[in-house]
Amino acid sequence: MTWIIWLLPLPPLLAFFVIILFTNKNKALSHGIAVGAAGLSWLGSMVVFITAIGTEEFGKHIFESAINWLPTGNTWLQIGVRIDPLGAVTLFFAAWTIFMIFIYSIGYQNFGQPKGDHDRPGLPPHGATVEEHGKKHTVPSIEPMYSRFFAFLGLFAFGMYVLVVSNNLLTMFVGWEIMGLCSYLLIGFWYGKPSARNAAVKAFMTTRIGDVFMLLGIAFLYSATGSLTFTDIFKPEVLEALAAAKTPILGLSAAGLIGLLLFIGTVGKSAQWPLHVWLPDAMEGPTPVSAMIHAATMVSAGVYAAIRMFPLISLDPATMSIVAFIGAFTALFAATIAVAQNDIKRVLAYSTISQLGFMIAALGVGAYVAAAFHLVTHAFFKALLFLGSGSVIHGMEHGALHTGDHADVQDMFNMGGLRKKMPITFWTFLIGGFALSGFPVLTAGFWSKDEILADAFGHGHMAVFVTLAVAAFFTAFYTMRQITLTFFGEPRTKAAEHASETPWTMTLPLVILAVFAAGFGWVGIPEHFPALGGIVPNWFHEFVGSTLAEHPEAVEFSWIPLATSLFVALGGLGLGWLVYRNVKSPKQDFLQIPVLKNKWYFDEAYNFLFVKPAYWIAEKFTSLFMDRWLIDGILHGAARFSLFLGHFFRNYIDKPVVNELIGDGTGNLVKASGSGLRKIQAGRIQYYMVVSMVVLVIFAVLYYFLIGGM
């Protein structure tokens, strides 16, 4: 079995290389290779999953295999693959959503449509003019970088599979970062748009903040335990030692600090407050990318990693409190922003942040299984919603091109009445939206969200419980606002009037995902649930719970969280419908409050606090002041001093003393005395006689005074 697991990530990677290197000119072949590769990995994943659920006591008999990778002294750092119950369910939803997104992308990127009139790489297609029955009209045009898109999707899928099948933190981190790269490449796919290229950089840098902390956590863990393999790390004696070791930071134990460092990685990747700012901007990418990043893979990966490290994180209560706080706060905080957004994708982006907060909060209160459950159900319904919103945008674009209407096709206030134009999209979107809101019993989202609330209540975390309940109310409210504005009422623009249903490559994935969004909850119905409990065994709890060494206890049933859950879901949905069924323009929307619309001004604050200072440090302080002025200044000073010394020696020692005084000086002296003496030797007898007389007199006088006088 392990050989299949080793091979799972390979097809999409090969697809990436083949498309990039060889087939990028041929669009049909490229998408054929990519979809085929995704299908192959999907098939392998299903084989692994089915074998896993068919294995007796799978939690004790997981699939694992490892090889030597890095030589370190006398030992090796091993890497390998592992599928345990948590891995198996993650693999299940990842394989399904990835495969669906690949198929959907064919339609979304307008395969089969003509080339655009003015399209160029790096910009979204603008549409092509075609002649039909002697009449010219505009239709959507194919994406100019169609093949490249599928190559990137392949690399992205590779990253996710690597992450899921890893049996160690190192290769998990490798997959994690490869996805980071792909999200950068895909968000910036239409790099010709300045907003897209900035969003790409923002996404990469924000998540990288989390990643460097995570890298430290990995280094710390590796130093402390000598291994990065989950099996080794989660041995009871290793965990005990980590829990007992103290660190100087915040009074945390080694386990707590490592857990916190790793968790910061999750905060970045899963867009939790305070590193949430990149995700809404990531909407610049084509829609399948949004689904890929926000549902199937990258953000789920963050939560998956946190769930994976639960045995470690849960050792320190302080770390757990931080986790619970961040999760609960993010859940509510993002939900408040979502209610005031008008862009159909941005609402979903904030809702994603909020839902990931639910999972993190669940983890923080110790609800391991509930977090995993919500991770899976959310992946399905959020992928569905993103693909659905993409379908809506696509239908709107069709209408906009057809009528020449230049309205913003992503603004929900420009939509309305789409339920009749796009029935499949409408019904599937409705299912997804209800699942997100936690519509009772019928949707998967209800079961997972209810379990989180029940766990928070059951474990006595009342603050978390109340916060999440309020957030859930907001969730239902903004979801209904979105559905009402988009699909109900009458079309508010020409584009919406002429919108049309999208091709089957787009609607088929919607239908399949809708099945899971509705039905997947049935595998996790609590045993003590009124009426329904016990009819279907709570398979999810049994299965995923067995990943841990100690099987987690299910909380006792209580009516309070259930009633709350029912109230917030139905109340939120109902209120959303009541408020928005007659709203026709943003002016009538009482929630268009600046502070919410501007996301509590976090972008502005970060810009002021971090981005601008970073520019200043880089450009002014380091480059100009430190290197140019200070260090080079000292060097140039030294050079100038040497020059001065040279000058000094030349002009004040060499020239005057050596050259003039000693060199030239001696010469001059000889010359001067020569020319002086020359006058004496004029050759005249009288002259000689006078000189002789004078000398004689001088000597006589000298003789008289010096010698004679004695």
Binding positions for another protein, rule: CB under 8 A: 20, 68-74, 120-122, 170, 173-174, 176-178, 181, 184-185, 188, 191-194, 197, 200-201, 204-205, 208-209, 212-213, 215-216, 218-220, 222-223, 614-615, 617-624, 626-627, 631-632, 635-636, 639-640
Residue with tokens 């160690």: 168
- Minimum distance from CB of 120 to another protein (Å)? 6
Distances (CA, A) of 606 to 300, 471, 613, 620, 633: 25, 25, 10, 20, 34
Query: Please, what is the minimum distance in Å from the beta carbon of residue 221 to another protein?
Result: 10
* Between 215 and 511, CB nearer to another protein: 215
Q: Which is nearer to another protein, 81 or 361 (CB)?
A: 81
Residue 135 beta carbon to another protein: minimum distance, rounded to whole angstroms: 32
At closest approach, how far in Å is the CB of 204 from another protein? 6
Closer CB to another protein, residue 254 or residue 518?
A: 254
Kindly tell me which of 204 and 520 has the beta carbon lying closer to another protein: 204
Of 182 and 518, which has the nearer Cβ to another protein? Answer: 182
Considering Cα of 325, then 327, then 333, then 335, what sign does the dihedral take? negative
Q: Which H helix or E strand runs over 82?
A: strand 75-83
- Least distance in angstroms from the C-beta of 13 to another protein: 10
CB of 63 to another protein, least distance (A): 22
428 vs 552: CA distance, rounded Å: 35
Number of Cβ within a 10 Å radius of residue 684:
9
Q: Would you say 185 or 271 has its CB closer to another protein?
A: 185
Nearer to another protein, 20 or 243 (CB): 20
Q: Under a CB-based contact definition with an 8 Å cutoff, are residues 189 and 145 in contact?
A: yes
Least distance in Å: CB of 628 to another protein?
Answer: 8
Looking at beta carbons only, is 139 or 209 nearer to another protein?
Answer: 209
Closest approach of Cβ 266 to another protein, in Å? Answer: 17
User: Distance between CA 333 and CA 279 in Å, rounded?
Assistant: 14
For the beta carbon of residue 247, count every other beta carbon within 10 angstroms.
15
Residue 571: CB minimum distance to another protein, A: 44
Find how far residue 437's CA is from the centre of its chain.
Answer: 26
By the 10 Å C-beta count (0-12 exposed, 13-18 middle, 19+ buried), 19 is classed as buried
What are the φ and ψ backbone dihedral angles of 628, each rounded to 5 degrees? -75, -50
**Measured from the CB atom, is 17 or 705 closer to another protein?**
17
User: Under a CB-based contact definition with an 8 Å cutoff, are residues 286 and 182 in contact?
Assistant: no
Strand partners, 82: 64
Q: By C-alpha distance, which of 344, 324, 322, 326 is closest to 334? A: 326
Among 108, 259, 92, 62, residue whose Cα is nearest residue 164: 92
58 with 543: CB under 8 angstroms? yes
Question: 646 or 663, CB closer to another protein?
Answer: 646
Cβ distance to another protein smaller for residue 612 or 640: 640
Is 25 within 8 Å of 47 (Cβ atoms)?
no
Phi then psi for residue 238, to 5 deg, are -65, -45
Measure the CA–CA gap between 583 and 485, rounded to whole angstroms.
Answer: 8
Report d(CA 512, CA 475) in Å as an integer.
24
DSSP secondary structure, 581-640, as one string: TT--SGGG-TT--HHHHTGGGHHHHHIIIIIHHHHIIIIIIIIIIIIIIIIHHHHHHHHH
The CB-of-197 to another protein minimum distance in angstroms stands at 4
Q: Which residues of 459-483 are buried (b: 16+ CB within 10 A; e: fewer)?
A: eebeebbebbbbbbbbbbbbbbbbb
Minimum Å distance from CB 610 to another protein?
11
Closer CB to another protein, residue 258 or residue 506? Answer: 258
3-state secondary structure of 72: strand
- Residue with structure tokens 């999200």? 183
Separation of alpha carbons 641 and 643, rounded Å: 5
Least Å distance, CB 87 to another protein, is 20
Which residues, including other chains, have CB under 8 Å from residue 95's CB and lie 6 or more apart?
41, 42, 45, 46, 49
Q: Which is nearer to another protein, 60 or 636 (CB)?
A: 636
CB of 101 to another protein, least distance (A): 22
